[in-house]
Chain A
Amino acid sequence: MILSIDLSSAVPIYQQIRDQVVAAIAVGELVEGSALPSTRQLAGDLGINFHTVNKAYDLLRQEGLLRLNRKSGAVVQRDAHSGPPPPGFADEWSVRLRTLLAEAAAQGVDAEAVLTMCGRVVGSFGARLGGRGGEPRDGELGVEHRGLGEPA
């Protein structure tokens, strides 16, 4: 995968690494068992302190997406085909989704447009996964969209 890190961005570098790895797993560019460089290698390639990469990898490990191994470096532990999400994931994730959707609602983006955009993003993941990952995610979004109706 290609990692593009904006050094002058307000988003911390470890967050950019974490987000791009998650996105690569979502679109199927990385799958269960895919290897990632070791923290030292990636830090060397990005020209940054290796603690920063460590922080990103540690976040991904806590989320159950990455397995860290002293010898073989980092390996992707799950993807869309690896079964249902771990317990508690949906609750934590829907809190963040609520914030994200609330931002759109507060800025006056109408619910229809929000749903179209959501559909497009989820569809872009499904396209690379051969459509399999698309359906259950649509269902999840349906639940969240009822939640969005209240503040709007």
Chain B
Amino acid sequence: MMSGTAVVQVVIPFVILLMAWLMPALTGPTLPFGVRTPPAHANAPVIAEQRRAYRWWVGGVGGAALAAELVCCLVFPSTPLFAGASTAIAVVSTTGYLRARRAILTVKLGEDWYGGLRQVVAVDTTLRTEPVRYPWRWAAPALLVPVFSAVLAAVEYPSMPARLPMHYATHGQADRLADKSIGTAFAPVFIQLALTGLLLLVTRLALRSRAALDPARPATSAARHRRFVVRTAGSVMLLGACVNLGMLAAAWQTWHGNLSFSPLPVLAPITAGLLVVVAIALRTGQGGSRLATSEPDDAAGGPADPRVVAPDDDRHWRAGGLFYLNRQDPSLLVAKRFGIGWTLNFGNPRCLLLLVGLAVFITVLNLIGH
């Protein structure tokens, strides 16, 4: 029987390893390892070679780290929480990514892949004038759990013990208690609400973010983008609902004055949520690259011109292509290159504002928790 601690120690690194291993297949054919390439070179030998090398490296070394963690868990079941395997897998996948990226970049520059091509930005104005509707249906579970928790807290309030556990040490023993009050009993609900609010705000920003369209097939990629943003926002909202459920399970234990904490009911919904996110990401791909398309652009204006390609924007992706920094670009959120979802434009002044806001939010959350 696995304890909750073991779930964190094995399942979380497993999800990270799975995502890292799948990533080359999720990021679309023209951005292998964060290098912008023209579609004509999507099947270049160096790219196939680097994909294979990356998978062996991440699967082998990352898998070994996970196996070591599993053995550790089975041999010493009482060891405290330790993020060793997750960190190791993150380091291994980043190393593999950087190596593959450097190899592809060398060939790209050496063979001048962009020579003689027209670099075009395509925009579908209807993405702005008839934007994707906010997916309230997907947001409903994340909103309903805090409401349900608040009702439950109100019902349970009279029967709660006089002192409530506020914090548990790593072994799951309560190490700080506080007198029962509206503030302490409802603290988990406030945290749920704050988290859900932040989630709704971030998904709103993501839904309004720029679509990276293929200039050779703008209509098809715009349709893909619409489905991609709704699915991605929806899966994040489902994860939010699962996290809220986990917090409710934690709150339930404090409301009953449990002095020893059982993490399994907290971590089970969060793990399930993570797996759902992985499954949806696998079916969708970054920017919708794995979605089947129904409307070919050929109908609109003949076969696509192979010389028209998306601009080579590699120079704006700094530090191994992991950070986007472009002062000329007014966008705050941009599509990630090696991953699913969005990243910040660190050249945008609003980015600093957002980071300060996040820091304040985390500080406030910590103050509520204490």
A residues with a Cβ closer than 8 A to B are 1-8, 34-38, 40-50
Contact partner, A45, options B118, B123, B215, B311, Cβ 8 Å: B123
Shortest distance from the beta carbon of B220 to any chain A beta carbon, whole Å: 11
Interface residue B329 (Cβ < 8 Å from any Cβ of A): yes
Q: Is the CB of A7 within 8 A of B121?
A: yes
Please encode chain B, from 310 to 345, with 1 for each CB lying within 8 Å of some chain A CB and 0 for all others: 010100000000000010111100000000000000
Does B219 sit at the interface, judged by CB under 8 A? Answer: yes
Residues of A within 8 A of B127 (CB): 45
Q: Are B330 and A44 within 8 A (Cβ)?
A: yes
With both beta carbons as reference points, the residue of chain B lying nearest to A13 in the complex is identified as B121
| Contact for B125 among A5, A36, A43, A49, CB less than 8 A | A36
Residues of chain B having any CB pair with chain A under 8 Å? 118-129, 210-211, 215, 218-219, 222, 308, 311, 313, 326, 328-331
- Chain A residues with Cβ under 8 A from B311's Cβ? 7
A47–B210 CB distance below 8 A? yes
Contacts of A50 in B (CB 8 A): 330
Q: A43-B330, A45-B211, A47-B210 are in contact. Are A3 and B122 (CB under 8 A)?
A: yes
* CB of B295 to closest CB in A, whole Å: 13
Does more than half of chain A's interface fall in helix, strand or loop, or is it mixed?
Answer: mixed
> Smallest Cβ distance from B307 to chain A, in angstroms?
11
Contact A8 B118 (CB under 8 A): yes
Given A3-B122, A40-B330, 14 new contacts (CB under 8 A): A1-B125, A2-B123, A2-B124, A2-B218, A2-B219, A6-B119, A7-B119, A7-B121, A7-B311, A8-B118, A38-B128, A45-B127, A47-B210, A47-B329
B129 / chain A contacts, CB cutoff of 8 Å: 34-37
Q: How far is the CB of B209 from chain A (nearest CB, A)?
A: 9
A44 x B331 contact (CB < 8 A): yes
Q: Name the A residues within 8 Å of B313 (CB-CB).
A: 47
Q: What residue in chain B is nearest A47 (Cβ atoms)? A: B329
Known interface pairs A4-B218, A40-B330; A47-B121 also in contact (CB < 8 Å): yes
Q: A40-B330, A45-B211, A47-B328 are in contact. Are A6 and B120 (CB under 8 A)?
A: yes
Q: How distant is A25 from chain B, measured CB to nearest CB, in Å?
A: 13
Docked pose: A49 CA to B331 CA in angstroms: 10
Residues from chain A with Cβ under 8 Å of B118 in the complex = 6, 8
Are the CB atoms of A37 and B128 closer together than 8 Å? yes
CB-CB nearest 7 A-B residue pairs: A37-B128, A35-B129, A45-B123, A47-B329, A44-B331, A3-B123, A2-B218
